Amino acid sequence: MVQNKIFTLWVRGIIIYDLLLLLIAYLTSPWLAFIIAMPILLIISFIDAEKSTKQVVPKPIYSIIKLSIIAFIISFSARAINIYFFDSPLEKTLIFYLSITLILLYYDTDLKSIIIRNIPRDIIAGLLTFIVMIFSTFGTFYIVSLLAGSKIFIDWNVFLIVLPAMITVGFGEEALFRGLLQRVFINKIGFRKGLFLASFILFSLWHVLWIFDNGLNIGFVFYVVFTGILGLILGLAYEGSESLLPVVIAHALWDAYQSGIKEFYVNVTYASMLFTFVASILIYVLSLFYLHKLISYIYLQ
């Protein structure tokens, strides 16, 4: 009975959230659906997921690990359809709905405690995570480029336009990969293996579907691995904060920043490029060792 109720919730989620977005995308445009409809449906899914789980008191007979894998397969399939046909990832509210429903069913908690731990500290932790993401990747290169006379600026109009949609992306993907999969895998196979499987392997696999848009080449392989590298930072930040809000903030800021930044490089030598590469690697390695502890420390003050 409980098993049937869970799949009823999931089917309802798929019909309401994914198919409605497909209809909006078809009648208007994927971008319009992404910017306007997805945040609205995300708010609805907040309410609906918690309300639905309150109706199911016993835990389902399927194990959490099996249901988590099923949730990933459903989400991955919906993502493949959206990217292939609409060139846009419209599945974010669906994966949030599925992930939060499972978390609420299996863990003795409520929606607020999953999302928020302490709002001011969550914001600080999110901004810190975003800064680490920048400086462990392109940040040092930007600084050296500016010193060499390059011009780098952010199109704030683009940044502000896409930020609401990127917040939706953050809630959806972070609920699935950090809130659900990472939590489940760490409990089952340990911290390092669980973190690596959820936030590097599966998060990288999640981005392989952009092969429909980019084709297979060296640049695309680098992009997929790069997403896994950033996934580990987000995973460590989540473990340090024990809250989704910091990683949602960091994820949304990163995506909006990448959409809005414009770069014009001049007078950058090979020596300076080597320096920035080594510096970025060093910052990234240090973050693997200390980011978890640093963010945990924020919540102890």
Are residues 202 and 70 located together in one domain of the fold?
A: no
Which residues have CB under 8 Å from 33's CB, separation 6+? Answer: 21, 24, 25, 88, 90
Q: pLDDT at residue 4 above 90?
A: no
Average of per-residue pLDDT across 197-205: 97
Q: Based on the structure, what is the number of domains in the chain? A: 2
Domain hosting residue 134, numbered range: 117-301
Q: Are residues 204 and 139 in the same domain?
A: yes
CA angle 75, 77, 80 (to 5 degrees): 110
149, 288: one domain: yes
φ and ψ of 62, to 5 deg:
-75, 145
Residue 265 has pLDDT above 60, yes or no: yes
Mean pLDDT of the chain: 87
**What is the distance between the alpha carbons of residues 232 and 230, in angstroms, rounded to a whole number?**
5
Of 266 and 99, the structure prediction assigns the larger pLDDT to 99
- CB distance 124 to 298 below 8 Å: yes
- Whether residues 259 and 294 fall in one domain: yes
One domain for residues 246 and 162:
yes
Q: How confident is the model at residue 1 (pLDDT cuts 50, 70, 90)?
A: low
Shared-domain flag, residues 16 and 137: no
Q: Say yes or no: 4 and 105 in one domain.
A: yes
pLDDT number for residue 148: 76
Same domain as 136, residue 82: no
Which of the four pLDDT bands, split at 50, 70 and 90, describes residue 234?
A: very high
- Residue where one domain finishes, among candidates 115, 134, 150: 115
Give the CA distances from residue 118 to residues 114, 169, 234, in Å, rounded to whole numbers and listed in that order: 11, 22, 18
Stated pTM of the model: 0.91
Q: What is the DSSP letter of 299?
A: T
Q: Do 191 and 260 share a domain, yes or no?
A: yes
Q: Judge if 108 and 21 occupy the same domain.
A: yes
The answer to whether 258 and 130 are in contact (CB under 8 A) is: no
Domain end position, chosen among 52, 87, 115: 115
Same domain, 274 and 254: yes
Same domain? 46 vs 165? no
What are 43-57's pLDDT values in tens digits?
888 888 888 777 765
- Please tell me which of 35-39, 71-75, 247-251 the model is most confident about, judged by mean pLDDT: 247-251
pLDDT at position 198, please?
97
- Counting residues of the chain whose pLDDT is more than 90, the rounded percentage is 47
Instruction: Tally the residues of the chain.
Output: 301
Task: Read off the pLDDT of residues 153-188 as tens digits, 9 standing for 90 and up.
Answer: 788 888 888 888 899 999 999 999 999 999 999 999
Whether the per-residue pLDDT at 13 is higher than 80: the answer is no
What is d(CA 27, CA 8) in angstroms, rounded to the nearest whole number? 28
Q: Which of 83, 115, 147 is the last residue of a domain?
A: 115
